[in-house]
A and B are shown apart, each in its own frame.
Chain A
Amino acid sequence: MKHKVSTTVNGRRHEHEVEPRLLLVHHLRDNLGLTGTHIGCDTSQCGACTILVDGKAVKSCTMFAVQAEGKSLQTIEGMAKDGELHPIQQAFWDEHGLQCGYCTPGFIMAASYLLSQNPNPTEDEIRKGLEGNLCRCTGYVNIIKAVQSAAKTMSTAPAKKATVAAGGN
C-alpha cells in the first residue's frame, strides 16, 4: 500500500506515492533524483546522508519518507544559489576539506546546522558538533579549518562574494 507524501525540497514542491517503509534518503535519491545525498552505512553512524529538515540537521536514513510529509527539506543541491557557492562550500574548497568527496555533502549540511545554532564555535565545539559524521580521507583537520573559515566569512561579510579561480590562492 502506498502513501502520498508531499514535501518542499530546496524550495520546490514534490508529491509522490511511496511505500511506507521507504527511507527518506532513498526517496531523495531514487524518486527525486537528488543523488548528492549519499549513503555510507546502514546503521545511522556515518552521516553521509545528512540533510536539513525544517532547518534541523537530520540523517535522512533515520526517517521514513512519509515522516517528511509537509516538511521543508534542504539538501546539498540547494546550498549553492545562482551559480554562487554557499560560504561553507567555498570554505571546504578553499581549505581542502575534502578528498574523495563522498562524505562531503553530509559534512556541509551538518556544518550548516552547527553554524546556524552557534555562529562562532570554538574548535572543540566544531569537533563535537561534527561527531555524527565520519570521514575516512581527511583526518578531519581541514574539515575543521573549513568550518572555522566559513564561520568567519558568514559572521563578518554575509554578502561578500567569494572569488576563487583555479590557480589562485
Chain B
Amino acid sequence: MAVSQLVGAKIHRREDPRLITGHGHYVDDFTRQSTAYAAFVRSPFAHARIKSIDITDASKAPGVVGVYTARDFKGQLAGTHPAAPAFVAEKKYVPERFPIAEKEVTYQGEIVAAVLAETKAQAADAANLIQVEYQELPAVMDLEKALEKGSPKAHEDGPDNVCWDFTYTGPEITDAAFQEADVVVKQRILQNRLAPVPMEPRGVLADYETYDKKLTMWLSSQNPHFIRLFVSGALGLKESQMRVISPDVGGGFGSKISPYPEDYLVPALSRITERPVKWTETRTESIQNATHGRGQFYDCEVAAKKDGTLLGMRVVQYVDVGAYHGTFGAFQPVACLMAGGSYKWKGGISARTIGVLTNKVPTDPYRGAGRPEATHLVERMVDLVALELKMDPVDVRRKNFIQPEDFPYTQNFGLVVDSGDYDKALDKALQLAGYQDLRKKQADLRKQGRYFGIGFSTWVELCGFGPSAATAPATGGIALVESAQVRVTPTGSVIVYTGTHSHGQGHETTFSQIVADQLGVPLESVELRHGDTAEGTAFGYGTYGSRSLAVGGVAISKATGKVIDKGKKLAAHMLEAAEEDVVFEHGSFHVKGSPDKAKAFGEVAFASYGMSLPEGMEQGLEAVAYFDPPDLVWPFGTHIAVVEIDAETGATKIEKYVAVDDCGNIINPMIVDGQIHGGVVQAIAQALYEEVVYDNETGQLRTGTMIDYMLPSAGEIPTFIIDKTVTPSPTNDLGVKGIGEAGTIAASAAVINAICDALSPLGIKHVDMPASPDKLWHMMREAGK
C-alpha cells in the first residue's frame, strides 16, 4: 500500500451517528403492513416423547390466525438441518433435524408448535393454551456417562451417543517422546459451556409474495448469503427468488452464523398464510435455544525434558455436541490442530476428538471457536510443566517458541504458520507488567499469607478462513473465499459491496479507509454496502473466524485495483499517452514525469460513462474481485494477568492486565483496541463468571435468564494496559491478520494461570473455569486441611 492518510489512523466510525442517536435499524425495528406475529411452544423437558398436542383452545383464542404443528410444515420444508463436515471428515451419527419436533423432543426449548396471531401478546396468550402431553424419557447430560455402554440415548432411535470419534494422529506417534521424557504431566481440563448472549436477541421477519413467488426475509445474522442458500433450499425456492436482509446486527459472537429452526418456520408460515410474519426472540428463548459455545473437556498429557524442552503431547477432546450437530459445530475440533500453540513439539502431538450427543441445546462456534480451547489447554499444560520442574513459566515458554527465522513454519498438523515473533511480544508485555517487581511483590505477599499470582498466555491463533484448498471440505464444497464489488458512479463517488457482514466490527469504516486511500478520494465519497443478498456480491461468505479484513478487505482492495487499472487505460486515452506511461497517485492519473498532465479520478469516472472511450472499452467503471488467500493468517501475542484471591471469600480480583497483541498491519487502531477490550472481557467472563448449567438429572436449564447467567458489568472489569507489535502477514497485500477473536483466545489462560500461581503455595495445581468465589473458597479450604 502507498503511504496514506487514512489507513493506520484513528478514524471515527461511520456507523456511529445512527447508532448513538437511536436511528440504527435492527431486525425488530422493521415491520410490514398486515404482519402476523409468531410465538412458539417449546418443550419444557430435555427428553420426552410427544404423545398428543391439543390446539383446540388456542385456535379459538382472540386474534389467532392459526396454530401449526410439525405436520403442517411437512409439505413446506424439505431436508434436514445442515451439518458441515468442518474439521471432522467422518461422522458416526448425525441425527436428522426438522425445525419442529413431531414425535420426540431432545432438548429443553425445542419447538413443538407455532401460533400466529394479530398481535405479539395474542400470540403469546394463545401459545399458553396449547396442551402438549409428554412422556418423559431419561435425559443424557454427562459426557462420560453418555459414552458408557448401555447409557440412555439422546435420540431414542440413534445407535448410541457418539456423533463423531475421529483420530487425527494416533497415540503411537508420540511413544518415543513419552519414553524419552524426564517428566510427564497429566491434566483433565474443562471448558465450561457458554451462552454467547449478543445484546440483540435473534429475530425474523419474512414476507412471501404469493403471486410473485418471492421471499424477503429480515433477520439478525452474521451470514446472510448462507442463510439464503439453506432456507431457499428447504423451501424449494431458487436462491434468486429469495432476498435476505440482515440490517444492523446487535452482536453475534458466533451465535448468528448458522441457520435456526425459526429461520425456516417463519418464512414457511408467511407462505402458508400469505402474510408477513414476524418473530422476535426473548432473552429467555435465546439462552435456551441459541447455540452455545465451548462445552468440552480435554484429557492432556505432556512429555518434557528436565531443562524444560517440550517433547510431545497427547490430547483427547470431548465435545458436548448437544441434541443435534450444530451447522458449524465440528469446527470446534480445530482445538486439536491448534493444541501445540506457539511452541515446537519435536516428538509430535497425538490428537483425537469425540463428539458426544446430549439432551442440551447444540453447540456451535462461539468467539474464537476451538482456538480459545487450544490456547487454554496448551498454556495450562506448559505452566504445569514449569511447576513440575520448578522453572519460571516464562523460561519454559521462551525455550520452546517457534523462532522468527522458522517462519513460514509447518506445525505438527501440517498447517503453515505465516509469521511471528513471539519473544518480542513477550518482552514487551513483561516490561509493561513490571515482571521482576511483580515476583518480588508476590514473595512479600506470600510471607503475609496472601494469594497473589501472575499468569501468562503466549497465545497464537489461526484465522482468515480460508484458503479454499484447506476449507472447502468444511463448507461442503463451497470454497471459503470472499467477494467484493467496487462501483464508481459517473460523479466519482464509490459504492463498495462486500460479502462479509459487520455485527459491530465497524466494517463501514475500516473498509472505506482502504478504498478511499487506494483511490485517493475523501472518505465521504465511499459507501460500504453489506448484509443484503440483493445488493452487490453474488455470494458472500459472512463474518466469523476473524476473516473479514484478512479475506474480505483484501478482496475489496483487489477490486479497487481493477478499477484503477481500467481508469489508467481510459486516462491514457484522454491524455493521449501510452498506458504504461500513466501513473496513478493521490487520486489522479498523470503522465510519468509530467505531473501537470493529469486527470483527476472523478474526471476519469465521468468520462467512463461518456462516448469517447478507447476502442473496445465498455462504459462504466466497476470491478468484481474474489480473494482466495494462499494461506491462513496467524495473529499472536502475550497476555499477562495479575490476580489476588481473597482468602476469606475466594473472590478473585484482577490487579493488572497486560495485553500485547500482533495482528499485522492495522487499518484503524481505535477499532482494533476495541476488539481487544471486548474479547478479553469475554474470556475473563468465561474464566471467572459464566457457565451454562443444566440440572444433571432432569436436564432443566438452570441459567436461563440474565439473573442466573452471570454476564460481567462495568463493576467487575479491570482496566487494561494494551500494546502491539506489528508483524505483517506475508499472505496478503495489506499485510493484515485478524483481531476479532484474539482477546477471547488469549485471556482465559492468563487469568486461570494467574489463579493457579496464586494458589500454588497450597499445593493447588489446577483450577477449572469458572473460578467462582465459591469454587475457590472450597478448594482453598480443602487444600488447607
Contact = CB atoms under 8 A, between A and B. Distances in A.
Interface of A: 19, 21-22, 26, 29, 34-43, 45-46, 48, 75-77, 79-80, 85, 89, 92-94, 96, 98-105, 108, 126-128, 130-144, 164-169
Contacts of A136: 197-199, 251, 253, 678, 682, 711
B21 A43 contact: no
Given A131-B715, A139-B681, A36 B16 contact: no
Contacts of A29: 28-29
B20 A40 contact: no
B15 A19 contact: no
Given A94-B12, A134-B706, A77 B21 contact: yes
B121 A99 contact: no
Contacts of B284: 42-43
| Majority secondary structure, A binding face | loop
Contacts of B705: 41-43, 45
A45 B12 CA distance: 30
Nearest to B679: A139
A34 B678 contact: no
A93 B20 CA distance: 8
A140 B681 contact: yes
B121 A167 contact: no
The 3 closest A-B pairs by CB, nearest first: A36-B22, A102-B250, A101-B19
Q: Which of B11, B12, B250, B714 has the most CB atoms of chain A within a 10 A radius of its CB?
A: B714
Contact of B20 (A85, A100, A138): A85
B714 A143 contact: yes
B522 interface: yes
Contact of A102 (B26, B670, B680): B26
12 contacts: A36-B21, A37-B22, A42-B283, A77-B21, A93-B17, A102-B26, A102-B198, A127-B714, A127-B715, A127-B717, A134-B706, A136-B251
Contact of B22 (A34, A134, A140, A141): A34
Nearest to B522: A167
A117 to B, nearest CB: 17
Contact of B201 (A40, A79, A92, A94): A40
B673 to A, nearest CB: 8
Interface string B500-517: 000111100100000000
A11 B630 CA distance: 58
B249 interface: yes
B520 interface: no
Nearest to A135: B199
B557 to A, nearest CB: 19
Given A43-B706, A127-B714, A168-B12, A108 B20 contact: yes
B506 to A, nearest CB: 7
Interface in B201-260: 201, 248-251, 253
A141 B19 contact: no
Contacts of B22: 34-37, 75-77, 79, 105
A165 B280 CA distance: 36
A103 B714 CA distance: 13
B158 to A, nearest CB: 34
Contact of A100 (B11, B14, B249): B249
Contact of A40 (B19, B200, B673, B682): B200
A130 B16 contact: no
A167 B6 contact: yes
A142 B677 contact: yes
Given A40-B283, A100-B251, A102-B199, A169 B23 contact: no
Nearest to A108: B20
A132 B715 CA distance: 10
B674 interface: yes
B523 interface: yes
Contact of B16 (A26, A75, A98): A98
A38 B706 contact: no
A132 B509 CA distance: 30
A45 B248 contact: no
Contacts of B707: 43, 45
Interface in B1-44: 5-6, 9-17, 19-24, 26, 28-29
Contacts of A126: 714
A107 to B, nearest CB: 9
Given A38-B250, A43-B706, A104 B12 contact: no
Contacts of A127: 714-715, 717
Contacts of B678: 99, 136-139
B738 to A, nearest CB: 16
Nearest to A91: B20
A98 B670 CA distance: 11
B407 interface: no
Interface of B: 5-6, 9-17, 19-24, 26, 28-29, 120-121, 197-201, 248-251, 253, 280, 282-284, 503-506, 509, 522-524, 670-671, 673-675, 677-682, 705-707, 711, 713-715, 717, 719-720, 743
A140 B717 contact: yes
A98 B64 CA distance: 40
Contacts of A166: 11-12, 14, 509, 523-524
A99 B505 contact: yes
Given A36-B22, A98-B20, 13 more contacts: A36-B23, A41-B706, A45-B706, A77-B22, A98-B16, A99-B674, A100-B250, A101-B250, A102-B198, A102-B250, A104-B20, A166-B524, A169-B10
A128 B715 contact: yes
A127 B498 CA distance: 38
Q: Which of B23, B509, B673 has the most CB atoms of chain A within a 10 A radius of its CB?
A: B23
A59 to B, nearest CB: 12
A137 B20 contact: no
A42 B671 contact: no
A46 B705 CA distance: 11
A165 B670 CA distance: 15
A131 B714 contact: yes
Contacts of B17: 85, 93
Contacts of A92: 16, 20
Contact of B674 (A76, A85, A138): A138
A144 B199 contact: no
Nearest to A146: B20
Contacts of A48: 199
A103 B11 CA distance: 22
Contacts of A41: 283, 705-706
Contacts of B198: 100, 102, 136
A83 to B, nearest CB: 10
A77 to B, nearest CB: 5
Contacts of B200: 38, 40, 100, 102
A137 to B, nearest CB: 5
Nearest to A128: B715
A104 B19 contact: yes
A100 B674 CA distance: 11
A150 B197 CA distance: 29
Nearest to A94: B12
Contacts of A96: 13, 670-671, 673-674
B543 to A, nearest CB: 12
A168 B12 CA distance: 7
B199 A103 contact: yes
A101 B9 contact: no
Given A45-B706, A45-B707, A101 B674 contact: no
Given A36-B23, A46-B283, A137 B706 contact: no
A10 to B, nearest CB: 10
B280 to A, nearest CB: 8
Contacts of A89: 20-21
Contacts of B14: 166
B21 A76 contact: yes
B521 to A, nearest CB: 12
B417 to A, nearest CB: 28
Contact of B717 (A37, A85, A103, A139): A139
B199 A93 contact: no
Q: Which of A34, A139, A165, A169 has the most CB atoms of chain B within a 10 A radius of its CB?
A: A139
A134 B20 contact: no
